[in-house]
Structure 1
Amino acid sequence: MNLKSLAVFEVKLDPVLDLGDSHWGSRRVINIVGGTFEGPRLSGEILPGGADWQVLHPDGMASIDTRSTLRTHDGALLYLSTSGVRHGPPEVLRRLAAGEAVDPAEYYFRLFCRFETGDERYRWLNRTLAVASGARTTEAVRYEAYSLG
């Protein structure tokens, strides 16, 4: 198995909507307002309208669950879903929550990425599994995705 660079994603976000505690944990919704992606075989824009339906657990770990629509540079529409986890030492997570710039090496943020499309030019994505390493800033998430070969 090997990893091939797929794209770097820059996902712009609205402020966090905190729905409060439930039996799953603290539910948060973070709406996606746009963004870009750029890679060797895949580039374009992230359309507004997706979101991260995130759960914060008592131990500080965040379960990531996003869905978004992408438009490639040549007009194809793609559906992207990611699932993953973000965790780290409590003091690092507090700094992230406060909107401070935090080196991504100080915490763990990994994603599993699945694509779906009916566009012939990108059907190869329907059969591609990808993983990504992420970083959170105050207004965006940046992650580098790699296809599993």
Structure 2
Amino acid sequence: MTFLRVFLLSLAANVLAAPKPPAVTFLYSANVTSGAPTIIGSTPLGNRVVIPIISGEFSGPKLSGKIFSGTIWSLTSPTGINTADAIYVMQTTDGATIMVTEKAHIPNIDIFFETASPKYGWLNNVTAFASETPTNGVASINVFAIGSTL
């Protein structure tokens, strides 16, 4: 009977224990320069603005390089919630191109990568998270991989 009680208590402790959070790995910091916005205006979904990405740079322990053209589609809902989607291209210092897709609920950003580069192919399996600090046309972003995909 004692064995059964101990077994059930240990089983309950395992079930009730908080799950382990996923690993978080720093990928890079980026500064992204945007251009003049095109204001679409008040649509049924909210206030829409389209912003070109002009240039930028990124640097981290596993990759660094320049950011090239892209676009940000920003939407502020009638209740004041600000979301944004962005797609842009990064080129590493060794010449690989990486497409970046961002889905943001400002200031939090989910990031997904796509590349044909064998060296950076590991990025195709990474889900990343970033937090952005925008200032006068330049956004500073710190990007972290979530989970054990590296």
Partner in structure 2 of residue 122 of structure 1: 120
Match of 1:103 in 2: none
Q: Which has the larger radius of gyration?
A: 2
RMSD between aligned alpha carbons?
0.8
Find the aligned partners of 2:113 and 2:90 in 1 and give their Cα distance.
Answer: 10
Identify the residue that residue 11 of structure 2 maps to in structure 1.
none
Q: What is the CA–CA distance in structure 1 between the aligned matches of 2:111 and 2:83, rounded to whole Å?
A: 14
Say whether 1:26 aligns with 2:47. Answer: yes
Match of 1:111 among 109, 112, 127: 109
Residue 148 of structure 1, aligned match among 132, 139, 146:
146
CA distance in 1: counterparts of 2:62 and 2:87, whole angstroms: 21
Q: How far is 1:137 from its partner?
A: 0.6
1:50-78 alpha-carbon deviations (Å, 9 max, x no partner): 01011111222211100000100100000
Long gaps (5+) in structure 1: 87-108
TM-score normalised to structure 2 length: 0.81
What percent of counterpart residues are identical?
29
Relative contact order higher in (CA < 8 Å, ≥ 6 apart): 1
The one of 48, 66, 69 equivalent to 2:89 is 69
1:140 Cα deviation from its structure 2 partner: 1.0
For 1:146 and 1:135, how far apart are their aligned partners in 2? 15
Letter in 2 for 1:73: T
The residue number in structure 2 matching 1:54 is 74
Q: 1:81 aligns with which of 87, 101, 105?
A: 101
